[in-house]
Structure 1
Amino acid sequence: MDLTPAAQVRLTTGGLTLRPWTPEDAAVLAELYRDEALRRWASAPVHDETDAARWLAEQRRGWETGERLAFAVEETGSPGTRPAGNVVLKRRATPSSSAEVGYWTAAHARGRGVAPRAVTALADWAFATFAREGLLRLELLHQVDNAASCRVAEKSGFALSGVLPAAPPAFPVDGHRHIRQAPTAA
């Protein structure tokens, strides 16, 4: 499967479209990151359009290597809408039985089920797309004090499997690990 952004992988589900981020998204990305909550929970800081362009270039490289497949989440039927969030599949360089899912939701889209729908769509796509490579398990990790992420994980079919100890400076607080297993063949 061609995993470059030029392949234009698009997923649609429950009123959402997931598409690869593009360089044209820099201004809106910088605007979305003005939200204090997003900056608190997101791992990569974006302070301005220069940072946004850098972040977008990293996402493009992730598609080129196949190691970080990030999608802008848009609500369908809203012309000219800002992205409602981001979902990402983080894979290892070599085929592995597990990968990690990450996400964030823009302030204007919180509380409407955008994150669980987007995470579920990404997980379903990942299992279908990478089954031949042996993908059997997805992990969703978050800080223990992020109750909203616990709810998103549970609504997306990720069961809480344990607590991860803090590992400062990158992970200053304990975390939760949620797991979703690949569907079994019927």
Structure 2
Amino acid sequence: MHTVPPAPVRLTAGTLTLRPWEPEDAAGLAGLYADEAMRRWASAPVHDGPSAARWVAEQRRGWETGERLAFAVRETDASDARPSGHVVLRRGSAGSASAEVGYWTAAHARGRGVAPRALTAVADWAFAVFAADGLTRLDLLHQVDNTASCRVAEKSGFALSGLLPAAPPAFPLDGHRHVRRVPAPA
């Protein structure tokens, strides 16, 4: 059984607010997936209102089990009410030393540092909250042709640690593994 952080979890990173996905977020989510880059890099099958509602419900179930802790990213200084991004912490078995992070950034928020700030906030939070459970390493995986994800990983303190062989259909091309380790005590 996973340790589930006390609710509600709300993180900030400058002008960003990160919080668990809410049912009302589904309304704008399908529109975000109209973007070609979102459809290419994000694996979620979101294409209309009902599929967006199912996706949000799945994110909420992840919080209930403690296995998949997903955050909606919002820019507090933006006039656009749609989510600007998403960051998720996927935890392995209870007591595992490693977990995986993933993210996406909406088209309207790209190029402004949203992804690195949000990813850094979730990584820092994960190490602070789950160190007692033994968490010491976070992995970030992406296909080799996703150069933007490589840049985000590096800006967020995830060092390139190796190449991964293709694993179709989810990963049709080779990939990169980036790793961030728990900071050493001061």
Superposition TM-score, scaled by structure 2 size: 0.95
1:23 aligns with 2:23: yes
Q: Are 1:3 and 1:64, in contact at CA under 8 Å, matched by a contact in 2? A: no
Query: 1:72 and 1:157 mapped to 2: Cα distance?
Result: 21
Q: Which residue of 2 aligns with 1:8?
A: 8
Secondary structure, aligned partner of 1:179: strand
Q: Are 1:65 and 1:93, in contact at CA under 8 Å, matched by a contact in 2? A: no
Distance apart, 1:93 and its partner CA: 3.6
Distance apart, 1:14 and its partner CA: 1.7
Q: Which residue of 2 aligns with 1:71?
A: 71
Aligned counterparts, 1:143-162, within 5 A: 143-162=143-162
Q: Are 1:103 and 1:115, in contact at CA under 8 Å, matched by a contact in 2? A: yes
Q: Which residue of 2 aligns with 1:53?
A: 53
Query: 1:122 and 1:83 mapped to 2: Cα distance?
Result: 16
Distance apart, 1:27 and its partner CA: 1.2
Q: Which residue of 1 aligns with 2:110?
A: 110
Query: 1:46 and 1:115 mapped to 2: Cα distance?
Result: 20
- Counterpart amino acid of residue 126 in structure 1: A
Q: Which residue of 2 aligns with 1:142?
A: 142
Q: Are 1:66 and 1:93, in contact at CA under 8 Å, matched by a contact in 2? A: no
Q: Are 1:23 and 1:53, in contact at CA under 8 Å, matched by a contact in 2? A: yes
Q: Which residue of 1 aligns with 2:121?
A: 121
- The structure 1 segments of at least 4 consecutive aligned residues displaced by more than 4 Å after TM superposition are none
- Counterpart amino acid of residue 179 in structure 2: I
Secondary structure, aligned partner of 1:47: coil
Residues 2 and 100 of structure 1, relative CA distance in 2, 3 Å threshold:
closer
1:168 aligns with 2:168: yes
- Counterpart amino acid of residue 118 in structure 2: A
Secondary structure, aligned partner of 2:30: helix
Kindly tell me the number of residue pairs found equivalent between the two proteins. 184
Query: 2:97 and 2:50 mapped to 1: Cα distance?
Result: 36
Give the unaligned 5+ runs of structure 1.
Answer: none
Distance apart, 1:2 and its partner CA: 4.7
> Sequence identity of aligned pairs in percent?
76
Distance apart, 1:3 and its partner CA: 3.5
Distance apart, 1:168 and its partner CA: 1.2
Residues 12 and 180 of structure 1, relative CA distance in 2, 3 Å threshold:
same
Secondary structure, aligned partner of 2:52: helix
Query: 1:95 and 1:74 mapped to 2: Cα distance?
Result: 31
Superposition TM-score, scaled by structure 1 size: 0.95
